[in-house]
Structure 1
Amino acid sequence: MRIPTRIATVAAFSIGVLALTSCTGGGGGAGGDSGPIDTSGELSGSIQFQTWSLKNEKFTPYFEDIIDAFEKEHPDVSVEWLDQPGDGYQDKILSQANADTLPDVLNLPPDIAYPLVAAGKLLDVNAADADLKDVYNTGAWDSYSEYPGVDGTYGLPWYLSSDASWWNLAQLAPYGVTEQNLPTTVDELLTLAEKVASESGGKVQLLSSIPGLDTFTSAGIEVIDDKGEFVFNTDEAAAIVQAYADAYAAGAMPAEALTGDYGGNAEAYIQEKVAFTTGGTGFTTDLQTDAPALLATTVATPRLGIPPLYVQGLNVSADSDNKAAALAFAEFVTNEENQIAFSSLAVGTAPGTVSGGDTVVDNISASVTDPAQLAAIDTVFTAMQDAKAIPFQWTSDMATYMTQQIALAINGEADPKTQLDKIVEYANANRVDQ
């Protein structure tokens, strides 16, 4: 199963947008008829439904059952289920779009959806049914609604994930830290990191990564404006970078965190090089495998600030010959009942609807044997309503450049504001939507 992640799309999709635009004459926005679609009447005809690497022993019975249920409710509609392998999925989508063979309903995260949105290949679901917005998670709905220069919403949130904060209480206990007084903000984290580093003589460190774009989104800083321009080179963001630099100078962070070449913050935590990390609800599985003794001393709390949101959704082709049945099926798959059933199978994912997370936790409580994982899932689900997705324009290439430039500010070789100016200039010059 493909859990939501950021996907590097800069080369493939900048080319793909050009190819699709040349085929459709450009213009962007919703293609075909953009307006209300009545799904309440009698539906008929056939539609194709395409998932992303979900046809397997675990999930096939679920999809067969859900298709059977929809066809029983609408006996004159037939649904053909297609599934594409994980590798090369974005290329397959572009190929289908260029050949005008997109399935009626398909699974696209917001970034992969972008070139199709720009070319008018996806249905504006908000225009089709304005009542849908209230059904779904706000941050996930917004992630399909914030394409620069394009009005509308181009996907129904399906299944979501986010991260938690993970703490090694055994390492932190000598410094007065308990589960009850753990940091809840980045400022508190940095203050504690300096305190622990100082009192331990540098033996206990909390920080294993330097600021990334999600550091600023978590702090509530605007990183991109409504025109799609990156704008996070602010004094507020520079102050956060400087605070990390101060913490680094105080010995609160290992030097390898600056290079981006190490195993990652989760690996550093497993090796007990640091006492804090971020990670998904499945991090307990890594601990069970690689550091089982840590489980007893590890607790999960919500991500500091605004948590990140990783989104998968269902989209309707604007070129579908059966939009009413396609939209009805997309709504059916993503209704609360069916999303709860899916997330109860795909443990660690949350429903894309406004509610349903508590029911998922109840459903999986018997099958999840590790109480730490269950607690982490509950923690993440509780915070999910406030989570926000990273802008789809942000690519892995931009993230790499940002790491290189921020590292210079953290080790004191450059001014934080100057480095942020460079990063924003680079990001805006390499936007995938230009």
Structure 2
Amino acid sequence: MLKRRALGASVLALALLSSGCVAGTSGGTSAVADDQPFEGEVEFWTINLKKNFGAYVEGLIAQYQKEHPKVTIKWVDVPGQDIATKLLAAVASGDVPDAVNIASTDLGRFAPSLAPLDDLIKPADLADFQPNLVEPLRVAGKLYAVPWYNGGAPVAIYRKSVVTKAGFDEKAPPKSYAEALALADKVYAETKVYGSNDVPGINAASLLRYYGIELLSSDKKKAAFNTPETAELLATFKQSYDKHGIAPGAVSKDVRNYPQSLENGQLAMVASAAAATLVNVQKNAPDVYKDLVVTEPVQTKTGGYLLLAQQTVAIPKASKHQRAAAEFVKFFTNGANQLAFCKLVPIYPSTISSTKDAYFADVTGDEPVDVARKVIVQGLPKLEYVPLGTPKDTELAESLAEEIRAFLQGSKSAKEALDAAEKQWNDALA
């Protein structure tokens, strides 16, 4: 369990990395010709895996080298907090890895320095990947990374003994954030237990997308969210915050340590949560865990579930062994190897075949974690990963969240908060 939590923490930390723009290197797209088998070394970088999952990665490398005896894989594992800095330095020097694990939130930042994969990884090679996870990794029609693993579809978590007093029916849970906040308001009115921490949440930009709000202009050069409709939406958030449907501590910047949580018994529900939340409650608050009900989460206007980030594998433009790297990437991320990784840690695959294995398809039991796995697997095809697609996605999302926090606390009006966020976005994008 500790190993699983460690990986979850590293994934979250990576998703919260700040962003900046990375210029392309002067190196051309060098690759081995199709008809010439590669002989030599391929350097592969991962993020924070060696300590807990070294045997898994080393086993795959050994298998690949056995099947390709003239190829050596040089594995470099980089601490999560160092990956962006290390890759930036490598790009600047031209001495890059041949394949590298990159969080999708950083793809916009590094795309100018990455090789388009369309000539290296063909449509047939992508047939087993969830299309909804592949397409967002294209920039201007070109594929810049291959999906690897992700945190899965979100789930909704409710404390049954609390929410039932407000009329909650687990067979008909809230389908939208509007319905969830209405329930949260009623929960506090009936029980004096705070409702939810969902607003502004870990990513306020994604939260607005649940309501169908466009965030950027079509050319991605200006903010598009500053409208009367968005101001009205923020007003409904404020009403819920004042009624304690949204917990007072939801304005905390530290989204991993909210003052009110399911674990400390001060929160009634989370309408869209990562499954890792259940693991934490199970470990730290077993009595609360026994009281939990897990259902499908709230949906977007199109009936999907937003994925905040996914882990990907890319090939730097300056790599001199692009084709050899692509062959290793295809092996490393194939369905069988993703399934093996998912059995070690509560992550979810980007490959369709992995989800058809009994490990995912034949989940039984009514424990919250068992129900969550079923909800998550069923939700994988409905995942919507829609990044802003700029070099500064993380910075923009946080500036919007900060302005929503200011509004909820009463230091700014909705218009002032949206005007400030819009200016920050436009300045950052200029």
Q: Identity percentage over the alignment?
A: 22
Structure-2 change in CA distance of 1:294 and 1:154 (3 Å): same
Quick one: structure 1 residues 92 and 251, their matched pair in 2 at CA, closer, same or farther if it must change by over 3 Å? closer
> How far apart, CA to CA, are the structure 1 residues paired with 2:255 and 2:63?
49
Q: How does 1:24-423 map to 2 (within 5 A)?
A: 24=26, 32=29, 42-56=37-51, 58-118=52-112, 121-131=113-123, 132-146=125-139, 150-162=140-152, 163-200=154-191, 203-211=192-200, 212-229=204-221, 230-258=223-251, 260=253, 264-265=257-258, 267-277=260-270, 278-305=272-299, 306-345=305-344, 347-359=345-357, 361-362=359-360, 371-389=367-385, 390-391=387-388, 393=390, 397-410=395-408, 414-423=412-421
Q: Distance in 2 between matches of 1:414 and 1:269?
A: 29
For 1:157 and 1:360, locate their aligned partners in 2 and report how far apart those are by CA, in whole Å.
22
Closer, same or farther: CA 55–40 of 1 in aligned 2, 3 Å: farther
Q: 1:417–1:139: structure 2 CA closer, same or farther, 3 Å change rule?
A: farther
Cα deviation code 1:407-434 (max 9, x no counterpart): 3444566553553243122123124xx6
Aligned partners of 2:174 and 2:180 also within 8 Å: yes
| 1:108 counterpart SS class | strand
Opposite residue 48 of structure 1, the aligned amino acid is E
Letter in 2 for 1:320: S
Q: Report the Cα distance in structure 2 between the residues aligned to 1:266 and 1:184, rounded to whole angstroms.
A: 26
- Tell me how large the CA RMSD over aligned residues is: 3.2
Q: How far apart are 1:365 and its partner, in Å?
A: 6.4
Partner-residue secondary structure (3-state), 2:143: coil
SS in 2 for 1:70: helix
Q: Secondary structure at the match of 1:88?
A: helix
Verify the 8 A CA contact 1:233 1:421 in the aligned structure 2.
Answer: yes
Alpha carbons of structure 1 residues 246 and 153: separation in structure 2 relative to 1, 3 Å: same
Identify unmatched segments of 5+ residues in structure 2.
Answer: 1-6, 300-304
TM-score by length of 2: 0.83
Shift, 1:143, TM fit: 3.6
Give 1:236 shift: 4.2
**Residues 290 and 386 (structure 1 numbering): CA distance in 2 closer, same or farther, change over 3 Å?**
same
TM-score, scaled to structure 1: 0.82
Other structure's SS at 1:206 match:
coil
When residues 381 and 235 of structure 1 are mapped into structure 2, their CA distance, relative to the original with a 3 A threshold, is farther
Matched residue type, 2:421? I
With over 3 angstroms needed to count, the CA separation of the structure-2 counterparts of 1:312 and 1:175, relative to structure 1, is same
Question: Structure 1 residues 64, 33: CA separation in 2 closer, same or farther (over 3 Å shift)?
Answer: closer
Aligned pair count reads 407
The Cα shift of 1:272 comes to 2.3
Structure 1: segments with no counterpart, 5+ residues: 26-30
The letter for the 2-side match of 1:325 is: A
Q: 1:33 to 1:354 in 2, by over 3 A?
A: farther
What is the CA–CA distance in structure 1 between the aligned matches of 2:163 and 2:75, rounded to whole Å?
Answer: 51
Query: Who is 1:28 aligned against?
Result: none
Q: 1 CA distance for matches of 2:255 and 2:76?
A: 39
* 1:251-297, Cα deviation, whole Å (9 max, x unpaired): 42333434547874585222222201243222223213332101111
Deviation at 1:68, TM superposition (A): 2.6
- Residue equivalent to 2:302: none
2: CA distance between counterparts of 1:60 and 1:66? 10
Q: Partner of 2:3 in structure 1?
A: none
User: Aligned partners of 1:326 and 1:261: how far apart in 2?
Assistant: 38
Q: In 2, Cα distance between the equivalents of 1:160 and 1:286?
A: 18
Among candidates 8, 15, 20, match of residue 6 of structure 1: 15
Contact 1:140 1:309 (8 Å CA) reproduced = no
